[in-house]
Amino acid sequence: MRKIQYFISAAVIALGLASCSKEETMPAERQISIVASTESAVDTKTSLSGDDQTGYQVLWSEGDKIHLNDGWNSEFTLKDGAGTARGTFEGRATDGDGDYKAYYAVTGMYMPDVTNYMGENVISSVPMVASVSIKDGVASVAEFKNMCGILRLTLNGSGDVKQIKIYATQRMYGNFTVADDCSMEIGKGSATQYISHYCGDGVALSGEGTDFYIPLPPNNYSGVKIEIIDCSGNICTKTLKSDKKINIGRSLITPVSLTVTGLEKKPDVPDGALYGVFTVKDPDGVMNSGDERKVYFSRGNLYWDGDSFEFETLQSDRQTVWNQHHVNHFYWSFWDEEASAKDYKVKELIGIFTNEEYDNSKARESFTVNGVTGKYRVLTYFELKYLFEHHSRKWVTVNGIPGYVVAPDGVELDSRNSYSNVELNTGDLVFLPVTGIRVEGNISYPEVGYYWTSSMDQNNEGGYMYLSHDGVDQGAILNWACCIRLVVDID
């Protein structure tokens, strides 16, 4: 029997407790201290391995915060007791006495779908709940109870781990209620989803096995599939047999051991393309090879370096100040005498000849980008519209730059609102950053993304999509320069 203790990460996911349905003036506040303890470790015998295991006890760490459901989501910060199971939290709460619930690591009664690796024998975001009574400005001692159990996933093999995805038939995140024994109960959902466990810059596997501790709501999980993704984007997929389940008990540790071998190599893609597969459709049937296509996206927006067309190195790369030696805002066509040859080539790339004649093959047969000839093209308006309506997408930031991230076929985005470029590539995600629009030598509206489509309006003017935090819409103009994100069809 061994006792394992886990320190809570100071980085707490805060999604906001439910607020009042109407605007109210917050009552007077007063300073209150809450003494918070965590429950003792519990011994158990797991159903998977039969080995005796010891339950976990949470230890407070500096910077931890708890939230009171007093109607104002009052926040309390740990003042002393770091490194122990009993700490004192201080904060300001409303002036009313009463009985409340306090939560750690979850707010808004919502279990997140993202956890983070914090190091050996350390786990972040351990969801807990406690009852707190306040009378005459004095709070009772709050005994925090674990609402979840812990999956201890031991990976044997070599290499590094960037991300772990866990799929199951039962939902593992979302809105929850708390049962009488303090177990978290996730509300009913429709489709099977997954949770993500992120490992920073990567965790190297050791020959003796490397442990990853992941909090999960109590349940008997079936249909379990686990994907281990390394820093190069290679994937090892492990699917449990149909009769095997993972039983997660409240405040208990459930061990699962997997051997990481035969990492699945990514499919061959054209030079400069990402690996995610995206289905697009044009309901008007203007595509000469059918209504539905599957495509890969280029790794970044198109730019002209003075000699050739290339792709930006990172998906978040963009041009914010006009530079004639690095151009990624292109005119639709050869619309005046000052437009350069590269702008005319972009017209060919887009594939617009007349409103009646549309032929993708002509647009792609001789165009060379990133050293590849005859592959890349621009999506039609209806294809882009389908992309945004039928793929999981959201407004996020990547390295501080806003834009839309779009998930490939069969993938749902998690709850995060920011990504790194490495995380985009690991998840086969496409990011369309805000770009602004170029009028001669000036770039305006930098908070909006302007992207050409290969569709025109009734006046034969170039059609574009503009992307903002308010949504996605269509526009048409001839003499402004927009950005281009190319795709290549999967044969």
State residue 94's pLDDT score.
Answer: 74
What per-residue confidence (pLDDT) applies to 61? 86
C-alpha to C-alpha distance for 172 and 110, rounded to whole angstroms: 11
Rounded average pLDDT over 9-35 = 50
Give the separation between CA 215 and CA 251, rounded to whole angstroms.
10
Burial of 368-388, coded b for 16+ CB within 10 Å and e otherwise, reads: ebbebeebbbbbbbbbbbbbe
3-state secondary structure the chain: CCCEEEECCCCCCCCCCCCCCCCCCCCCEEEEEEEEEECCCCEEECCCCCCEEECEEEECCCCCEEEECCCCCEEEEEEECCCCCEEEEEEEEECCCEEEEEEECCCCCEECCEEEECCCCCECCCCEEEEEEEECCEECCEEEEECCEEEEEEEEECCEEEEEEEECCCCCCEEEEECCCCCEEECCCCCCCEEEEEEEEEEECCCCCEEEEEEECCEEECCCEEEEECCCCCEEEEECCCCCCEEECCCCEEEEEEEECCCECCCCCCCCECCCCEEEECCCCCCCCCCEEEEEEECCCEEECCCCEEECCCCCCCCCCCCCCCECCECCCCCCCCCCHHHHHHHHHHCECCCCCECHHHHHCCCEECCEECCEECCCHHHHHHHHHHCCEEEEEECCEEEEEECCCCCCCCCCCEECHHHHHHCCCEEEECCEEEECCEEECCCCEEEEEEEECCCCCEEEEEEECCEEEEEECCCCEEECCCEEECC
pLDDT of residue 440: 74
Q: In this predicted structure, what is the pLDDT of residue 55?
A: 58
Structural domain boundaries in the chain: 4-260, 278-489
* pLDDT tens-place string over residues 232-281: 778 888 988 877 899 999 988 899 999 987 666 677 888 889 989 999 98
pLDDT at residue number 202: 87
- CA angle at 479 for the pair 311 and 474, rounded to the nearest 5°: 75
For the segment 419-460, what is each residue's pLDDT rounded down to a tens digit? 988 888 878 899 999 999 988 778 899 999 999 887 766 555
User: Contact 355/448 with Cβ under 8 angstroms?
Assistant: no
The reported pLDDT for the residue numbered 207 is 72
- Say how far residue 487 (Cα) sits from the centre of its chain: 22
Cβ burial of 208 (10 Å; 0-12, 13-18, 19+) is exposed
- pLDDT value at position 367? 62
Q: Which residue has the higher pLDDT, 311 or 57?
A: 311
Q: Which amino acid is at 281?
A: K
474 has pLDDT over 50: yes
Q: Is the pTM of this model over 0.75?
A: no
On the question of pLDDT at 405 being above 90, the answer is yes
* pLDDT per position as a tens digit, 71-88: 777 889 999 998 888 999
Residue 35 pLDDT > 60, yes or no? yes
Q: According to the model, what pLDDT value does residue 137 have?
A: 83
In this predicted model, what pLDDT tens digit does every residue of 84-130 receive, in sequence order? 889 999 998 876 788 999 999 887 788 988 888 888 767 767 899 99
Mean pLDDT of all residues in 414-419:
88
Mean pLDDT on 139-148 = 92
pLDDT at 63: 86
Largest CA distance in the chain: 82
Give residue 44's pLDDT.
Answer: 36
For residue 189, is pLDDT > 80?
Answer: no
Q: How far is CA 392 from the centre of its chain?
A: 10
Q: In angstroms, rounded to a whole number, what is the distance separating the alpha carbons of residues 419 and 248? A: 30
Q: Which region holds residue 192: left if phi is over 0, alpha if psi is between -120 and 50, else beta?
A: beta
Q: Is residue 357 pLDDT above 70, yes or no?
A: no
The dihedral region occupied by 389, where left means phi > 0, alpha psi between -120 and 50, and beta the remainder, is alpha
Pick from 59-63, 367-371, 394-398 the range whose average pLDDT is largest: 394-398
Q: What is the pLDDT of residue 390?
A: 93
Distance, in Å, from the CA atom of 305 to the CA atom of 84, rounded to the nearest integer, reads: 58
477 compared with 406, residue with greater pLDDT: 406
What pLDDT band is residue 10 in, cutting at 50, 70 and 90? very low
Nearest to 406 by CA among 376, 428, 379, 382: 428
Question: Average pLDDT for residues 180-198, to the nearest whole number?
Answer: 83
Separation of alpha carbons 176 and 274, rounded Å? 36
CA torsion angle 468 472 478 480 (round to 10): 10
| Percentage of residues in the chain having pLDDT higher than 90 | 34
Q: Which residue has the tokens 């697009």?
A: 280
Q: How far is CA 47 from CA 153, 246, 268, in A?
A: 15, 8, 42
| Band of residue 369 on the pLDDT scale cut at 50, 70, 90 | confident
pLDDT in the model for residue 53: 52
pLDDT grade for 461, boundaries at 50, 70 and 90: low
Mean pLDDT of the chain: 79
Please name the residue that has the structure tokens 């812990």: 150
Look up residue 214 and give its two tokens: 């992941």
